[in-house]
A = this chain, B = another copy of it.
Amino acid sequence: MVTMSDIARMAGVSQPTVSRVLNGKGSSTRISAATQKKVRAIAQKLHFRPSFAGRALVSGRTRSIGFMCGNIRNPYYTEMADIAMRMVEERGYHLILGMMRWISWQNDLECFESLLSRGVDGVIYFGSALAPGRALYERMVQEKFPLVCVNHQPPKLPCILPDFQPGVNEAFALLKANGHSRVTGIRLNGLEKRIPFLAAAKEYGFDVEEGPTFKTEPSRLPEEVLQNVRREAYCFAEQKDRPGAVVITSDQLAAAFIGGLFEKGVMVPRDVSVISFDGTRAGQFMAPPLTSVGQDTTEIIRRALEWIFERIDRKDTSAPVVKIPTRLVIRQSVGPNPNP
């Protein structure tokens, strides 16, 4: 590895001088054109690349942001990560992914610790293990670490939360306009989605019917979940007098569910209408393209990063909770009720 000292030696100047010309902070210190040229020439010839570690050590920054998400194969996270990566790179940062396995909260926190030990300057956190009483949580709020929680709201930490109600209302309006009046919810376990779902169902006068409930263990491997949903689709397909509409908790699960229906000869949207959550771009390329309650990915990440970068610079920022409204992304998985 070629260092500034190497260059300094060859150029017959001191090492800090090399630093100065190579970092050329415009206004800071001016160096004679001759020295500049000489140093630059040598640096170029030797393919000098400043040592990341050296800089990190002295600056106390690694110029990297941690991104704690669930399985990256879920397009919801893929798309969030994609956006985050681009935005972060614009500032000369790198994004370091940490995938939570949802096995236990300990596992979440270990993953978080691993990122911290890597020296990330900030973290976007999609998990839920960070809660009062846990040591790491206390430490984070105390240190005022640049951390934003998405989709979950621990006290005293800045949070970005989707507001599902508007999107869900739109969903029911669309369903109603298509002559539906009976719906079943699949995997709407979390209250954040379940409550708006029930509220809208009531408001639009829908009968909410029990879907096929599989007693699956709480947290499983992603593929198992998908397989289970597929099986639920089989059940649903074979169900007599089933509702004409289904609302399901994510685009990824919708894919599996629709796949399961397809195998049983039940077509979407001809035989049943499906509305999912997430509104991922990926849903656009499914068969059929998904109608989905979408989050504003760009806005969510933009807000999160904005806050993080602000706190990296100044520790005296507040910890706001911002709600980002959802809206229905209408594509082709909803059709007229076949049995009105």
Contacts and interface: CB of A to CB of B under 8 A. Distances in A.
Interface of A: 1, 47, 49-54, 56-57, 60, 62, 64, 71-73, 75, 78-79, 81-82, 85-86, 89, 94-97, 99, 113-114, 116-119, 135, 139, 223, 226, 230, 252, 255-256, 258-259, 262-263, 281-282, 285-289, 332
B286 A259 contact: yes
B263 A223 contact: no
A94 B120 CA distance: 12
A52 B56 contact: yes
Given A73-B75, A97-B97, A262-B288, 19 more contacts: A49-B116, A49-B117, A51-B57, A52-B62, A53-B60, A56-B56, A64-B118, A71-B82, A72-B82, A73-B82, A73-B281, A73-B282, A82-B99, A255-B287, A259-B286, A259-B289, A262-B287, A263-B288, A286-B287
A254 to B, nearest CB: 10
Contact of A78 (B52, B53, B73): B73
Given A60-B1, A287-B262, A72 B85 contact: yes
A286 B64 CA distance: 35
Contacts of A89: 114
A289 B282 CA distance: 16
26 contacts: A47-B139, A49-B113, A52-B119, A53-B53, A53-B62, A53-B119, A56-B57, A64-B118, A71-B82, A72-B72, A73-B82, A73-B282, A82-B99, A85-B99, A86-B99, A89-B114, A94-B114, A97-B97, A230-B285, A255-B285, A259-B285, A259-B286, A259-B287, A259-B289, A263-B288, A287-B287
B117 A52 contact: yes
Contact of A97 (B60, B95, B262, B285): B95
Nearest to A98: B94
A27 B92 CA distance: 42
A331 B288 CA distance: 19
A289 B135 CA distance: 45
